[in-house]
Structure 1
């Protein structure tokens, strides 16, 4: 088992040297965005992340968080309803992406969560090889808006929550309300801990922090791009 783990670790370190991981601490793996007009996902394979340079990472983030210029959400046509897999293209499909008023707050909230994860990682003494961020967000415009409203309502509840709720009836009522609530518009998790171990007294993993910092910068850049496009649209 130890030999296999060492081989796997060596393979991952080799991949890091040959991709953006060594320089930036991060590498884009496979991802997909949903084409609402065709009713199919558009896949970006793992080979894309392994082939690009550090300077191409912002483009990858743009492809994962495309911005729609449509005024109304696209609707899947009957002709494309039977398709199961859409061909990959370097061009953003007209059916992908969220409008700026949805994408921007999702990016901003996502950034806050990643920053919190970064803060936690800076306080634990670990070494991690092959850790990943899993990011999922809602592609449906209406559901994404409902999810954002849910986040706003939760923030308001946190601010107004000055008294403890001790009665069982209140708790049961809360459970019923939770079941009726829409889902959050996005989820971000730190995953893949197979090659992670504690190193007490040796400080946080600087390579991991480098990767998280790079991710934060990429999200910041995408936020700036979306804001700029919003300002341009408002001025025309």
Structure 2
């Protein structure tokens, strides 16, 4: 694992893209990017890779059968940017949660899933903005048909692949990993703000 980290963007940045797919609404298929892509790019190309995972649609109107976006992938900036901001906040919360834990995480990953359908993404954003993503009242509404039809958040982020994590009491937190992950949270966000 350490050899792979040295040969990819992992060691320098704390981030490596692995295989991912983006849904092409025009062709109605998932477009796969193999894990070899993430292993082949340099740190200077990481932001381009993130842009490939979070493409901005070339058309700003909602895709219709007669008017599909020309590229077929991506959300319009008006939807993608707020989703990315919420995602950054959640990743920062994950970072804060592990920042003080005395552990060494080798090979841990973040799994990020987001809604590619423009209408559902917009409904998910409204859910986050109106309800703040709170699950407090959902337990009481389990039997309510209306609650079952409510949209959920337009994305999810989870920590996965942490089988090689070990607790190291008294040795302090894994500082390098935390610092690198914070750098990438900030640099990924600024790429979309300036791009």
Question: Which is worse superposed, 16-25 or 136-145?
Answer: 16-25
Alignment partner of 1:73 is 2:62: yes
Please give the alpha-carbon distance, in whole angstroms, between the structure 2 residues aligned to 1:212 and 1:118: 7
Aligned pair in 2 of structure 1 residues 156, 66: CA closer, same or farther (>3 Å)? closer
Matches for 1:150-161 after TM superposition, within 5 Å: 150-155=127-132
Aligned partner of 1:51 among 37, 40, 64: 40
TM-score (norm 1): 0.74
Larger Rg: 1
Aligned length in residues: 191
Aligned pair in 2 of structure 1 residues 157, 113: CA closer, same or farther (>3 Å)? closer
Alignment partner of 1:22 is 2:21: no
Alignment partner of 1:178 is 2:155: no
Please give the alpha-carbon distance, in whole angstroms, between the structure 2 residues aligned to 1:117 and 1:58: 21
What residue number does 2:83 align with? Answer: 106
TM-score (norm 2): 0.88
Aligned pair in 2 of structure 1 residues 101, 41: CA closer, same or farther (>3 Å)? same
What residue number does 2:51 align with? Answer: 62
Asked whether the 8 Å contact 1:131–1:193 carries over to 2, the reply is: yes
Aligned partner of 1:149 among 114, 126, 133: 126
What residue number does 1:33 align with? Answer: 22
Flag the structure with higher helix content: 1
Deviation at 1:190, TM superposition (A): 1.1
Aligned pair in 2 of structure 1 residues 130, 123: CA closer, same or farther (>3 Å)? same
Aligned partner of 2:97 among 111, 120, 133: 120
Computed over aligned residues only, the root mean square deviation of the Cα atoms, in angstroms, reads: 2.4
SS at match of 1:72: coil
